[in-house]
Every structure is written in structure tokens, then in C-alpha cells.
Structure 1
């Protein structure tokens, strides 16, 4: 059922993207700097692309910037989770060590008494 919804969503998304692309086929000029600044600096970088390419590139760039922003923002949470996992592993090892140490007698006299009780 979930697979069907995913296929349906992707199909509708593709139809919407094709509709936007076909409605915005006119060519536009993308410039790195305003014309006045191009003339002042002597740099003139521009490219002619269909409008829908500029729209889709803007969407992809926005998603990429948002992804990087969130990755940096959540770094402290990932570090805290890693520290908690490290502490949990350390505590599990300590519990296992204490379980095994509990079975061995701590004193020679107790070991002798335990031996007599086992033999009696």
C-alpha cells in the first residue's frame, strides 16, 4: 500500500514538473553580477538557459543549502548521541565485569569455607 502511494506521489510530482517546464520554456539570461558591476569590474559572466532550468536549479540549490545548514545545526545532537552510546557501552562492559567478579570469592578464607560447603 505504501509503495502504491509512493508511486502515485512520484507520478504526480513528475506531471507537475513537466507542466512547469513546458509552461516556462522561454530563454532567459542569468548573470553573475549586475550589468553595471560587470562593466566596472570588467567581468562578464552570463549564460542563456530556459526559465524552467533556472527554477529547478534554484529549488535544488535551496534544498542543498538547507541540508547542509541542518547538518551543521544538528552536529551537537549527533555528538551527544555518540557520547551517550560510548557511555552505555562502557557501563555494559562494567556490568558484565561485575557479574563475573561476583562469582569469584574475594577472600582466601571465604574460598576455603566455600570449598568446605561444597564438599560437605
Structure 2
């Protein structure tokens, strides 16, 4: 059931993106610098693209910035989780070692009962 809901949501998103692309096909010129700075620098690189590409690129850049921001924010939690995993692994080895020492001098049947 959830799979169909996901496919439906993906289809709606695809239709919205296609609709935006079809409705915004006009060419737009993007300039690197404002006019005042371009006159001072004597350079102003520009590119002409369809508007929907600029909109989709803006969405993509926003998503990438959000993912990187979240990844950096969660770094301390990942470090703490790794530390806890190492502690748990060390404690497991210690418990196994102590159980082995406890049953060394015992009968095999009694060792199984522990």
C-alpha cells in the first residue's frame, strides 16, 4: 500500500516539474555581477538559459545545501554512536573473557549450565 502512495506522490511531483518546465521555457540571461560592479571590473560573464532550468537548479542547490547542513549538524551524534559501539564491543569481549575464566576449572556439564 505504501509503495503505491509513494509512486503516486512521485508521479504528482513529476507532473508539477513537467508543468513548470513547459510553462517557463522563455530564455533568461543570468549575469555574474550587477551593472555597477561590472563597469568597475570591466567583466561581466553571463549565460542565457531557459527559466525552468534556473528554477530546477535553484531547487537542486537548495537541497544540496540542506543535506550538507544536516550532515554537519548530525556529526556529533554519529561520533557519540561510534564511541558507544566501541564501548559495547569492548564490554562484550570482556564478558566473554570473564565467562571463559570462570568455567576453566569446572566440569563441562556445569559449565554449560552457567
| TM-score bin (small chain) | 0.7 to 0.9
Q: Per the alignment, in what secondary structure is the counterpart of residue 36 of structure 1?
A: helix
How well do the aligned residues superpose, as a CA RMSD in angstroms?
Answer: 1.5
Q: Per the alignment, in what secondary structure is the counterpart of residue 33 of structure 2?
A: coil
Is 1:56 matched up with 2:56?
yes
1:45: which partner in 2?
45
Q: Per the alignment, in what secondary structure is the counterpart of residue 25 of structure 2?
A: coil
Q: How does 1:78-93 map to 2 (within 5 A)?
A: 78-93=78-93
Q: How does 1:1-120 map to 2 (within 5 A)?
A: 1-105=1-105
Q: Per the alignment, in what secondary structure is the counterpart of residue 104 of structure 1?
A: coil
How far the C-alpha of 1:104 sits from its partner, in A, is 2.4
How far the C-alpha of 1:7 sits from its partner, in A, is 1.4
The structure with more radius of gyration: 1
Q: Per the alignment, in what secondary structure is the counterpart of residue 30 of structure 1?
A: strand
How far the C-alpha of 1:69 sits from its partner, in A, is 0.8
Aligned length: 107
Could you list the runs of 4 or more consecutive aligned residues of structure 1 that deviate by over 2 angstroms after TM superposition? none
Any unmatched runs of 5+ in structure 2? 108-114
> Separation in 1 of the partners of 2:76 and 2:6?
33
> Separation in 1 of the partners of 2:102 and 2:95?
10
What TM-score does the superposition give when structure 2 sets the normalisation length?
0.87
